[in-house]
Amino acid sequence: MLYTKHLLLAFGLLLLANGIFAQASSPYSRFGLGYVRSSTFSANGGMGGITAPYASLMHINTTNPASYASLARTTLEAGFNVDGTNIRTNDSTYKTVSGNINHIAIAFVPKADKFAITVGLLPYTNINYTFVQNFNTPETGAYRYGYEGKGSLYNVFAGGAYKIKSRINELDNFSIGLNLGYIFGKLSYQKLITFPDSVAAYSTRNLTTLNASSFSYTAGIQYRRRIYHNSDIKDERTDIYFIAGAYAGGGVKMNAKINNYWDRLQTNVNTGALEAIDTINAVYNQKTKLNMPVTVGGGVMFGNERFWMVGADFKYANWSSYTSPLDNDQLKDSWRISAGFQITPKYDDVRKYFGRIQYRLGGYYGKSEMQYNGNQLYEAGGTIGLGFPFKLTPSTGTLMNITADIGTRSVNNVPNAITEAYYRLTFGFVLNDAGWFFKRKFD
């Protein structure tokens, strides 16, 4: 037991100390605060990203904190991504691949299926793009615009949930939960104008950095009711449940400090590198506020996690209310519909390992908060996942989840629009331990 606790803490601290959240390159991430990262973990990510009604005995769902109350054991969960993007325009194609840590969380369960506390660290948004535009006019000759952006915002949080059970039937219950967090990070944007055919010409650079921080919260509810029970068979896998869930958060004002300066550059004739020669204009530590969107979601699920479950949900965020002094294009309200299912053929059959694997499939469609030439981007994709269970000790088990998400991001019927075909492989590690809050007579 002591070994397991040390392993949990050491593994979590190692990830916190060394984890770097990143994102595959995307030109569209220059809009707003960048690409908004999904908060789904490896399990429900394989079901199309269902979050509002998703409640598990063994997996953490941070999007709806009410789900914590359904956990049966103290749970450590971490995930690693391999992100790939194929960026296509009318005349060129660019491919990129990156690897990064996707999520870290640990849930403490003093009372199984009743009360739990969760802490974790998640990516919130990412910016990662580099692209150039070449021009040639009779007045100026050849010149080039270069754009580059990088940076991330993170959300460190703590949350709790409590389950209220019916006096008539304890299998019917109502859960409430709350996450409180702190969003922080730095985003950098650079614009560069160069004249490739003239060594003597001055180049111009504009560099903007935004340091952001904000309180964050998410409140959630879930209602579960058993809608079918076969009294002739003493097997809880025959029970079928209905779960409805909803959550809401955001709408806060984010604090930000902006540094912005323009400088002139000249090409070093010996090295060919650009060197700053003077600063044209500079603003440092300009304080401002960013209006953040309200995010809401709701959905339903049917089934039993030990055998099968199927569900769908809807997510909406009013990004049109977002404001920023950076003037990096107006955003629109985003929404997404997700659906998926999971099946475990033989949950407790120790003789047939493949029967105990969790098989998942799902899909999603929605509109992004980003737009191109006044047209809102759509996002559509499919997911598939596998959950491999392993037993470590009588009170400790682990799962290795592998999830694939394949999709596309673009706009319809717009000339010269960029199309992104992306994939994401998530390798999730889940460790469940029933011994943390179990009293022993002998140790």
Per residue in 93-126, pLDDT (tens digit) is: 888 888 888 889 999 999 988 999 999 999 899 8
The tokens describing 187, both together, are 């985003």
CB atoms within 10 A of CB 297: 25
* CB atoms closer than 10 angstroms to residue 173: 20
Contacts of 382 (CB under 8 A, 6+ apart): 48, 361, 362, 363, 364, 405, 406, 407
- Model pLDDT, residue 231: 74
**Positions in the chain whose pLDDT score sits under 50:** 1-4, 6-20, 438, 441-443
Q: Which amino acid is at 194?
A: T
pLDDT value at residue 1: 47
Distance set, CA 80 to CA 38, 71, 100, 354 (Å): 14, 22, 6, 24
Extract the tokens encoding 23: 């994102």
**Contact criterion met (CB below 8 Å) for 206 and 172:** no
Neighbours of 315 (CB within 10 A): 23
Looking at residue 23, its pLDDT comes to 53
- The pairs formed by 251-254 with CB atoms below 8 angstroms and a separation of 24 or more are 251/292, 251/293, 251/294, 252/214, 252/215, 252/216, 252/217, 252/292, 253/214, 253/289, 253/290, 253/291, 253/292, 254/183, 254/212, 254/213, 254/214, 254/289, 254/290, 254/291, 254/292
Question: Cα–Cα distances in Å, from 319 out to 8, 200, 250, 331, 382?
Answer: 38, 45, 11, 6, 24
- Domain borders along the chain are 2-392+406-433
SS (H, E, C) the chain: CHHHHHHHHHHHHHHHHHCCCCCCCCHHHHCCCCEECCCCCHHHHCCCCCCCCCCCCCCCCCCCHHHHHHCCCEEEEEEEEEEEEEEECCCCEEEEEEEEEEEEEEEEEEECCCEEEEEEEEEEEEEEEEEEEEEEECCCEEEEEEEEEEEEEEEEEEEEEEEEECCCCCCCEEEEEEEEEEEEEEEEEEEEEECCCCCCCCEEEEEEEEEEEEEEEEEEEEEEEEEECCCCCCCHHHCEEEEEEEEEEECCEEEEEEEEEEEEEEECCCCCCEEEEEEEEEEEEEEEEEECCEEEEEEEEEEECCCEEEEEEEEEECHHHCECCCCCCCCCCEEEEEEEEEECCCCCCCCCHHHHCEEEEEEEEEEEEEEECCEEEEEEEEEEEEEEEEEEECCEEEEEEEEEEEEEEECCCCCCCCEEEEEEEEEEEEEEECCCCCCCCCC
Cα 340 from Cα 364, distance rounded (Å): 9
pLDDT value, residue 264: 83
Give CA–CA dist 19/56, Å, rounded: 26
Residue 230 backbone dihedrals phi, psi, to 5 degrees:
-95, 105
What per-residue confidence (pLDDT) applies to 30? 84
In CATH, what number does 2-392+406-433 get? Answer: 2.40.160
Pairing of strands 396-410, 375-393: antiparallel
